[in-house]
Amino acid sequence: MKKLDFLAVGDIVVDAFIELEDANVSCDINNENCTITMRFADKIPYKDVTVVKAVGNSPNAAVSAARLGLGVALATNIGDDQNGIECIEALQTEGIDTTFVNKNSGMKTNYHYVLSYEAERTILIKHEAYKYNFVAPDEAPSWIYLSSIGNDTLAYHDQIADYLEANPEVKLGFQPGTFQMKLGAEKLSRLYKRTEIHFCNKEEANRILGKQEEDVKILMQKLHDLGPKIICLTDGPNGAYAYDGTDAWFVPAYPDPKPPVEGTGAGHAYASAVSTALGVGKSLEEALIWGPVNSMNVVQHIGAQKGLLTQAELESWLAKAPGDYKVKKI
């Protein structure tokens, strides 16, 4: 395989996308804290179901980095079932090294249900209780990208922190998943302090910090205080922000060529494109331009991987970007 540039670490899943036909969405006065409801104890019609193999925060980032030209491996866990076999095949089709994929005897591969309605999604998740063990690669990668991992995995995170502390040349991109946010920044403090670039959205930032803060600059400063060198904060169609401890930037969302199909994977597409751009020697401002383009194309498709761009495709979109699609200091 290619030189190992990018080792993605995190759970892999099979997603079943269920396009709902009949549901109700209710939000508060600020159009936040929304809930989706359906009739109870009844038959609910749906439009279609699409099953997508080998997805999840880190597998999505791995596919994106591979399509953008890096040498990529994925460290993850699967069950000894047909879904696990098909996940391996899907990764290998993308040119991803599966050496660090651990098959767990007698267990299932993670399977999630994604309820799609009005271009948004509600995800029913279950992470199998695998025996996590970090196997250090013989060749240190340039980057480790760490994201969503199941519950009760503090020891596994400590193994990753041990490896990073022993290999200071390896840069860490960290995009905490649900259970990592539940573990809390204090328990993961060694990882936060070793993080080169940290990714989350505005709502996740407040969850990590235990706050209800609207000012993105304050949010980024508080996240930076946890240890990461660079903070990337996304805010959906409102654009994205970055902060390196001195300067802060804003980049607008890349205009959608048509209404989004659904939003699964937009944040990971952004994070992987920014990380990859830094990995190939782009400046932070150049890298920030890559992220929204990848996100824009992902939301034009069902699933988090179909719309991930190659470098040539990404540069083609950049060549026809509107004049106001620029990074601005704030």
Q: Which two tokens stand for residue 53?
A: 């193999």
Closest among 35, 117, 53 to 303, alpha carbons compared: 53
pLDDT-derived band at 1 (thresholds 50, 70, 90) equals low
Q: What are phi and psi of 8, to 5 degrees?
A: -85, 135
Residue 285 belongs to what H/E stretch?
helix 284-298
- pLDDT of 183 higher than 90: yes
- pLDDT of 262 higher than 80: no
Q: Which two tokens stand for residue 4?
A: 């190992």
In this prediction, what percent of the chain has a pLDDT beyond 70? 99
- pLDDT of 268 higher than 90: no
- pLDDT of 323 higher than 80: yes
E runs forming strands in 111-247: 111-117, 120-124, 143-146, 171-174, 195-201, 230-234, 240-243
How confident is the model over 318-326, as a mean pLDDT? 96
Closest among 39, 42, 24, 55 to 117, alpha carbons compared: 24
CA 46/CA 263 separation, integer angstroms: 18
Q: How many Cβ atoms from other residues are within 10 Å of residue 288's Cβ?
A: 25
pLDDT-derived band at 30 (thresholds 50, 70, 90) equals confident
CA 297/CA 312 separation, integer angstroms: 14
CA 91/CA 93 separation, integer angstroms: 5
In this prediction, what percent of the chain has a pLDDT beyond 90? 82
pTM: 0.90
Widest Cα–Cα separation across the chain: 57
How confident is the model over 249-271, as a mean pLDDT? 88
Residue 287 belongs to what H/E stretch?
helix 284-298
CA torsion sign for 59, 62, 68, 69 is negative
- pLDDT of 301 higher than 90: no
- pLDDT tens digits for 90-132? 999 999 999 999 999 999 999 999 998 887 889 998 889 999 9
- pLDDT tens digits for 130-169? 999 999 999 899 999 999 999 999 999 999 999 999 999 9
- How high is the mean pLDDT of the chain? 93
How confident is the model over 24-50, as a mean pLDDT? 91
- pLDDT of 29 higher than 90: no
- pLDDT of 283 higher than 70: yes
pLDDT at 2: 67
CA 161/CA 188 separation, integer angstroms: 9
DSSP lists the bridge partners of residue 8 as 74, 145
pLDDT at 84: 98
How confident is the model over 278-296, as a mean pLDDT? 93
pLDDT-derived band at 193 (thresholds 50, 70, 90) equals very high
- pLDDT tens digits for 197-244? 999 999 999 999 998 899 999 999 999 999 999 999 999 899 999 999
How confident is the model over 240-250, as a mean pLDDT? 97
- pLDDT of 267 higher than 80: yes
* Domains of the chain with bracketed CATH: 6-329 (3.40.1190.20)
CA torsion sign for 295, 298, 174, 114 is positive
